[in-house]
Amino acid sequence: MQTAEKTAIKKADTITSHRRDYFKNLPKTGVTKKMILDIVKQENVEFINMQFIDIFGIVKGITIPSDKLEYAIDNNVWFDGSSIEGFARIFESDMYLKPDLNTFALIPWTRINGSTTARIICDVYTPDDKPFTGDPRFVLKRQIEEAKRIGYTYYTGPELEFFLFKRNERGEIILLPHDKGSYFDFATDEAHEIRNEMCFALEEMRIDVERSTHEVANGQQEIGFKYGDALTTADNAVTFKYVMKTIASRHDLYATFMPKPIFGINGSGMHVHQSLFKDGKNAFYNPDDAPYYFSDTARSFIAGQLFHIRSMNAILNPLVNSYKRLVAGYEAPVYIAWAQKNRSALIRVPACTTGRGGESTRCELRCPDPSCNPYFAFAVMLAAGLDGIKKNLTPPKPVEENIYHLSEADRVAKKIASLPANLYEALYEFKKSELMRSVLGDHIFTRYYEAKMNEWDQYRAQVTPWELDKYLEKY
């Protein structure tokens, strides 16, 4: 057995052992202060990262010593919100972090000489003890409550793809994929040991991993974790990116969730599987609706998302680079349609919908990419679906033929529209949407739009290598 394999197995044994031990006394919900303080003592936790999320989905945080944790749980942690982009102005900057005890987890790579560090994800509050309207978790929680008000629980299961790139001798990231593998490859998949280590780290951070695979493009990876309620899943998605980047760095690699880092090959998406449950049963399932087995509720939910998709795109695909992925020919959905077998459609109903008495019935929105803020993404997706249900909208007929093979005239005849072609077009649709404004609230809606328009203006003023190659000598 080679040294690398021995090292990987040793790491696996260590991590799974710790995972088993501290999972025993920590449920997924209903975690108490006593439970956490007992684990902190048992695992010799010296520091706790009190994490929160900015409007772009980036993890921020304040680190406290473990002997201050009990006080922080009882009295919260104050910080200056003016230093966080999109949060608050300088004269209204005082805020505090309220820890969500259910998100407590050990950070596996910090375990050194018998001690370790933990993390807790926090909600952001203002001095008058109200949730901060600029907190992405609050935005999602508000939509979850709206779904609950009419009897629904929203579940999501995102599939985040990412690339592993090498670094040069100076430690700089270079666009050289870590391997030459392709979809499901083993023989040329040089990243399987790294993905295994990533999986063990995710498990120790209380994320239930279901599969790990090499994706289509060289250097492209995917690790799937179990679906759950939208808030927990959004927390997991943010943690997932944080874990992938950290473990990659430990191997002198860089994990990027940039949607389209290399021209000419597939980009990275974040397909999101969605379902609504009501009274403990899947509200999307209808046993009498072969071959889709989709209820009227599900069809209205899809209709709402199809209706609002162009205005949602600035949230689901938030970068200039996002629209380099959303082009025909690279498996990314571009056309606004739904289907079951057709993977060129924007929304797909997986064929496994009849399993387990309809429990697995769901729809898959295929356009989001992993650079999005998952709290905002799930919030606008849920709001759009609920809008379809409230208005009893009916979706168009499913399109089971490959839309990429249709002519423009055929698409027009079938009334198949397209997603926005670039970030500017997406922001134009976003700004017109009353639903987007109501979901995000005026604070985030305004700051997000301004930040993204500034991003677009910076981009469009650039002179790119493509332009120089195309025009410099010719003109």
Question: pLDDT of 246-262, one tens digit each?
Answer: 999 998 899 999 999 99
- Tell me: cis bond preceding 259? Omega within 30 of 0 counts: no
Q: What average pLDDT does this structure show over 305-317?
A: 98
Is the predicted pLDDT of residue 62 greater than 60, yes or no?
yes
CA dist., res. 106 & res. 243, Å (int): 12
In the prediction, which pLDDT does 212 show? Answer: 84
Q: Is residue 215 flagged as an active site residue?
A: yes
β-pairing, 115-125 vs 45-53, is parallel
Question: For 170-203, what is each residue's pLDDT tens digit?
Answer: 877 777 666 555 444 454 556 778 888 999 999 9
Q: Which residue among 123, 179, 366, 429 is the active-site one? A: 366
Residue 175 is classified by DSSP as E
Q: What average pLDDT does this structure show over 430-455?
A: 97
pLDDT, mean over the chain: 88
The boundaries of every CATH 3.30.590.10 domain in the chain are 143-468
In the prediction, which pLDDT does 402 show? Answer: 85
In the prediction, which pLDDT does 219 show? Answer: 80
Q: Which residue among 364, 369, 387, 429 is the active-site one? A: 364
Strands (E), 351-408: 363-365
CA dist., res. 153 & res. 301, Å (int): 13
Q: What average pLDDT does this structure show over 23-29?
A: 80
CATH topology of domain 143-468: Creatine Kinase; Chain A, domain 2 (3.30.590)
CA dist., res. 205 & res. 303, Å (int): 36
Higher pLDDT, 121 or 405: 121
In the prediction, which pLDDT does 107 show? Answer: 95
Cα angle for residues 49, 50, 56 (degrees, 5° grid)? 105
Q: Which residue among 123, 135, 161, 235 is the active-site one? A: 161
The boundaries of every CATH 3.10.20.70 domain in the chain are 26-132
CA dist., res. 75 & res. 242, Å (int): 27
Q: Is residue 189 flagged as an active site residue?
A: no
Cα–Cα distance list, 81 to 53, 77, 78, 189 (Å): 12, 12, 9, 44
Q: Is residue 222 flagged as an active site residue?
A: yes
Q: Is residue 366 flagged as an active site residue?
A: yes
CATH topology of domain 26-132: Ubiquitin-like (UB roll) (3.10.20)
In the prediction, which pLDDT does 310 show? Answer: 98
Is the predicted pLDDT of residue 229 greater than 50, yes or no?
yes
Q: Is residue 364 flagged as an active site residue?
A: yes
In degrees and rounded to multiples of 5, residue 54 shows phi and psi of -90, 180
In degrees and rounded to multiples of 5, residue 135 shows phi and psi of -85, 120
Question: For 127-186, what is each residue's pLDDT tens digit?
Answer: 999 999 999 999 999 999 999 999 999 999 999 999 998 888 787 777 766 655 544 445
In the prediction, which pLDDT does 178 show? Answer: 61
Cα angle for residues 99, 50, 195 (degrees, 5° grid)? 110
Buried b (16+ CB within 10 A) or exposed e, 198-218: bbbbbbbbbbebeebbbbbbb
Mean pLDDT is lowest, of 141-155, 395-409, 427-441, for 395-409
Q: Which residue among 5, 13, 80, 442 is the active-site one? A: 80
Q: Which residue among 142, 167, 192, 343 is the active-site one? A: 343
Q: Is residue 473 flagged as an active site residue?
A: no
**Tokens linked to 51:** 């994490």
- Are the beta carbons of 81 and 125 closer than 8 angstroms? no
Q: Is residue 308 flagged as an active site residue?
A: no
In the prediction, which pLDDT does 340 show? Answer: 87
- Name all contacts of 1-4 with Cβ < 8 Å and 24+ positions apart: 4/193
